[in-house]
Structure 1
Amino acid sequence: MTATTLPIIDIGPYLDPAASAEQRQAVSRALDKACREHGFFYLVNHGVPQDLCDRVRAQGHQFFQLPEEEKRKHKVAGNFRGYKHFKDIIIRGRASLNEAIAFYPPVNCYSDGIAQGVDPTSPSATLPTMPDALGSQNSWPSDEFRAATEEYRDLVLKLGDRVLSAIAAGLGIGDSFRDWLLDPTWSIRFNGYPSLTGTDTEKAGDVSLGAHVDYACITILNQDPESASLQVMSKSGEWHKVQPLPGAFVVNTGKMLSLWTCNQYPARLHRVVHRDEKPRVSVATFIDPRFNAVIGPLPELAVPGEEPIKYTPKTFGSHLVDQLRIYSAMQQKQVS
């Protein structure tokens, strides 16, 4: 299997107030091409300190090395937040050979308890007293783990905002995406992968995490640099390794951005096959629309001459909860 050659995008001009309009336009054009042709790219000069990236992954390694009974203490109600054991992660009806712990913000309310533009007397108004739609809250392994993760999260969310601004400029739509991404529904998922050898390979169908696409607008991946375990499917249907690039994030487009752009930006299939002697940790930050944003194809991005995408507008929260129901049904089928 060959290693894929992904575009390398220098986001520096979008972080530098002194950068010229021409420099920013060059970044936007490069991003637009990468999203259309690959759906994956390396992001460099991103402004997130390398020592912080390393420290966050180190927290993940420490957590996944704990005894199973200790890790299971961080399993919480709902299928979003908390610890996921190998048997809890089902991809296309097959259990995975990785474990995870995930963190989401509270999504029951916003600063004033009601989403923007919603009549407070209407049934759709979400009040602070409503239960969180995603279940129980985050379970942090330690104060140190939480402090490092939240410091990292704040910087990555600022970076994601700049990346999406550059993408919007490349699409020629300015900041019309702002309504979607005002107070985004971020999530951070720590993934732990043991070595995949021998009989484990047969059990998992030769993969650690099965082929899937992300639901997010974009995913920003911070991964261990030692092994090329991430694989991306090419347009021709072949799997290619993604070699870690020192100091770079790997970024990919997801189904929300594909929907938003009327499928001009594809959500690429990817998987993980980890066969290194050392365990692997990756930290994926998913950036989604705000929970009460009404999502759907943007009319200004409709492709001339093509049939409009048939999609019933719904809030992102409804979409996310629908996915939870589908995922839960798959798990129940697997158990039975």
Structure 2
Amino acid sequence: MKTERAPPILDFSAFYGNDATAKQKLVDDVRQCCLHNGFFQITGHPIPLELQEGVMNWNKKFFDLPLEEKSKVSLQTNTWNRGYELLRSQILEEGTQPELKEGFYVGDDIPKTHPYFVNKRLNSGPNVWPAGLAGVDDFKRTTQAYYYAAVALAKDILKVLALTLDLPEDFFSAYAAGAVATMRLLHYPPQQSDSDAKLARGIGAHTDFGGITILMQDEVDGLQVWDKEVADWFDVTPIKGAFVVNLGNLMMRWSNDRYISNLHRVINRSGKERYSIPFFFSGNPDYVIECLPNCKREGEESKYAPTTVEKAVLGGYSDSYGRAERYKKAQEAQGEKVPVVAAKEVAVA
């Protein structure tokens, strides 16, 4: 396990305190992370450990349901990306096998009368909940409470990011107003010990599509971050109560590639079940992303044409899920059907 160049752990409480020197150090440290690989961990945030543990416990209970029950809330039953996602539904890294993870998508629980739903905005609509899960009402309450706490934390992180770019603290307020965010409960079965390490992934090497990601890990490791300076992967050790934060492609595009949206992957060789909860903050779907002030030298051209949040994020979804479908069709053409099985049925050799 290589950890010596893993993303550093930063005390985010300085943002909420009255010590200007400590706050400036936090801003400076975050800036260095954004320039290096776009990853850091934070402690000292406002999300209570009790709420973190509560939603992680429900995460595990949901995935313990039989496949038949989980499939009743499949995301295939709606068009706004809510509900259960089967194992091997996605390929984020070209040339690898469909990924050994299953998920459950949650978002802002808006009604079908909401303008975002009516106008089919990015990932917007009502959540779906598994009626067969004992205590489903508490599952719903806990999951939603955590989701909205993560939205608030994301907005605070954006304020720090604005300061790292010598912009007003509220610079990203319009982008964050009416924001769309998606949360995934994830379960990674242990990978088979004889699986090909070059092909088998919990999640393949990829960059995230949105603005920022806030990840809660459980106690099982597996997350690895690429370090381009030394051309190697480094493990991100789970820290109780901490969040892993990373920049997505929108922030890299927005900063004219000054800040990094970095490769990361999950390989679960622990022999244990691994669970995590990533929260992807995309922003207002109609907000136009174009080169930020201070991110372009005089006379330098913007590397990217302006685009909306929605168009940029949907492009990432289309690529990764389309890749998995093409893989399955190619396997079936060769007479090798990709199995659809419950995660608990994946044997560990």
Give TM-score scaled by structure 1 length.
Answer: 0.86
Deviates more, 1:51-60 or 1:178-187: 178-187
Instruction: Give runs of aligned pairs for residues 14-93 of structure 1, distance below 5 A.
Output: 14-16=15-17, 19-76=18-75, 77-78=78-79, 80-91=81-92, 92=94
Structure 2: which 5+ residue stretches go unaligned?
A: 131-135, 330-349
Does residue 300 in structure 1 map to residue 281 in structure 2?
Answer: no
Task: Note closer, same or farther for the CA distance 1:132–1:206 as it changes in structure 2 (3 Å cut).
Answer: closer
Structure 2 CA distance for aligned equivalents of residues 85 and 62 of structure 1: 16
Q: Do the aligned partners of residues 110 and 32 (structure 1) sit closer, same or farther apart at CA in structure 2, a change above 3 Å counting?
A: farther
Distance 1:31-1:135 versus aligned 2 partners, 3 A rule: closer
Counting aligned pairs with the same residue, the percent is 28
Q: Which residue in 2 is equivalent to 1:318?
A: 311
1:333 aligns with 2:332: no
Q: What residue number does 1:122 align with?
A: none
CA-CA distance at 1:304 after TM superposition? 4.8
CA-atom RMSD, angstroms? 2.5
Deviation digits for residues 34-75 of structure 1 (CA, Å, limit 9, x no counterpart): 211231111011121112111111111111111111111111
Report SS of the residue matched to 2:41: strand
Structure 1 pair 97–130 and aligned structure 2 pair: CA distance change class (3 A)? same
Aligned pair partner of 1:146 in 140, 144, 155: 140
Partner of 2:246: 252
User: Is residue 2:178 matched to residue 1:183?
Assistant: yes
Q: Which of 95, 99, 109 is residue 96 of structure 1 equivalent to? A: 99
CA contact (8 A) 1:191 1:281 kept: yes
Matching residue of 2:332: none
Mark the runs of 5 or more structure 1 residues left unpaired by the alignment. 114-125
Deviations 1:81-129 (A, max 9, x none): 2211112122225300111111233689998x4xxxxxxxxxxxx7x64
Structure 1, 316-325 or 55-64: larger mean CA deviation: 316-325
1:132 deviation in Å?
Answer: 5.1
Aligned residue pair count = 317
| Residue aligned with 1:198, SS | coil
Query: What SS is found at the alignment partner of 1:301?
Result: coil
Shift in alpha-carbon separation, 1:129–1:241, aligned structure 2, 3 A: closer
Superposed CA deviations along residues 165-196 of structure 1, whole A, max 9, x for unmatched, are: 01111210113222212222111111101111
Task: Note if 1:198 corresponds to 2:193.
Answer: yes
How many angstroms apart in 2 are the aligned matches of 1:203 and 1:323?
A: 25
Q: Per the alignment, in what secondary structure is the counterpart of residue 202 of structure 1?
A: coil
Question: 1:330 deviation in Å?
Answer: 2.4
Q: Does 1:155 align with 2:149?
A: yes
- In 1, are the aligned partners of 2:98 and 2:324 still within 8 Å (CA)? no
3-state SS of paired residue (1:300): coil
1:131–1:164 CA distance, 2 compared to 1 (3 A): closer
Structure 1 position 207, deviation (Å): 2.4
CA distance in 2, matches of 1:185, 1:135: 7
